[in-house]
Structure 1
Amino acid sequence: MKAVPKVNTDGLYLEDVLVDDAFSGVVPFYTENLPELPTKPGQPEPEATPEDVQPGDTPGQDPVIAGYIVGIPVPPGLFHPRFDLTAWRQYQDSIQAAEAAYQEAMSAWNSTPEEERGGRPVLNIPPMPALWIEGLTPQEIERITAPQPQALSELDRLGTELVARELEMLEIRRQNETLGAQVVGLELRLLSLEGNPSEGGETFV
């Protein structure tokens, strides 16, 4: 068994699935296209539609392609891989065209007298293009790769709160010292007034 990518109908990667080691190519998987029947009070709800149903599993129903199982590994470096289904179909068409040309050339070669045949035709399969591409836009990639503010750890958070409390205590202490100095000044002023009664007043006998 081996793990291969599973994509949706747009080619976007969904998950890996296990298949036989001999699996290759691109194979669709299906979901049932069941009509929605109205339910009456007291009747049970219709059963949920299975996600993966192969054609012919349900007679009389038209299966709908839900995605594809791809036997081509995903290359590294893609944020959200997307399998280019259009390029894959074009590649299959080019292989079929190459095979058809080879069969035609072989038929002509076999029908030619041996002394006039020349070299045996060769099947030229076109090279496979890059079928996995980036599924995200540059803006989406920039957004997810932008530096994110680091969340404070519990220790950092407690340290920050402790520093804030110490600063509050220092401010309260400063205010208390200022008020204490004002009180001392008032007491000294009162003592000064008590020790020096006002002069110039008249004394009555």
Structure 2
Amino acid sequence: MKVVPKVNTDGLYLEDELVDDAFSGVVPFYAQPDNTDQDADTEPTTPELVGYTVGVPITTPGLFKPQFNLAAWRAYESAVYEAQEAYIAALNDWQSKGRAEEEQPLYVAPKQPDNLWTEGLTPEQIAELTKQPEPQPKLREELTNTQIAMADMYEQMLAMQAELKALKEGR
């Protein structure tokens, strides 16, 4: 078993899902409609596309909100399909010409794009997420007062220690 990401219909990461090790590619998943309101005479409602289970690992570290490029994936799938069709046509042509060993066509799969996972947040959204909150004036004042009170208590403790030491020496 392995963990793969699930994305919404815009490609934004939702959660991880545990799948079989052989899982690959991109597979849609659907929300099941609530059929309790339907009469027996009405047509059943079709499930609504909610997102995709993606068998392509997130290879770019440090993304705040990973987004899978569904358009690039569809283009890649289309290129794979076209390459397969071209190979089948070439292989059929080769077989019809008598199968000369040195001329046998080879299937060459298109390279999978590297940029399938990108950042789903804008730079402004990332800046908002990563900025340090400013302490509120009241909290700052309370912190200052607490530090002053602790300093006073420390001075009192030192004075009490000195007084105790003097009492012990004066016995």
TM, length-normalised to structure 1: 0.60
Quote the residue 1:43 is aligned against.
Answer: none
Q: Which runs of 5+ in 1 are unaligned?
A: 38-45, 47-58, 152-156, 168-205
Aligned counterpart, 1:104: 89
- Ranges in structure 2 where 5+ consecutive residues have no aligned partner: 137-141, 153-171
Pick aligned residue for 1:119 from 89, 97, 103: 103
* Letter paired with 1:66: V
> What residue is the counterpart of 1:67 in the other structure?
51
Aligned to 1:53: none
Change (3 A) 1:124 1:162: closer
Shift of 1:146: 3.0
Name the structure 1 match of 2:30.
30
Amino acid at match of 2:71: T
Distance 1:98 1:140, change over 3 A: same
Which has a greater percent of helix?
Answer: 2
Residue 103 of structure 2 aligns to a residue in which SS?
Answer: coil
Paired residue secondary structure (2:124): helix
Letter in 2 for 1:77: G
* TM-score after normalising by structure 2: 0.71
For residues 7-46 of structure 1, the C-alpha deviation after alignment (integer angstroms, 9 at most, x for no partner) is 1111100111111111111111111344795xxxxxxxx9
Give the alignment's Cα RMSD to 1 decimal.
3.0
Greater displacement, 61-70 / 96-105? 61-70
Matched, 1:134 2:134: no
Structure 2 counterpart of 1:187: none
User: Which of the two has higher C-alpha Rg?
Assistant: 1
- Matching of residue 77 in structure 1 with residue 62 in structure 2: yes
**Structure 1 residues 19, 165: CA separation in 2 closer, same or farther (over 3 Å shift)?**
closer
SS of the residue corresponding to residue 75 of structure 2 reads helix
Aligned length: 141
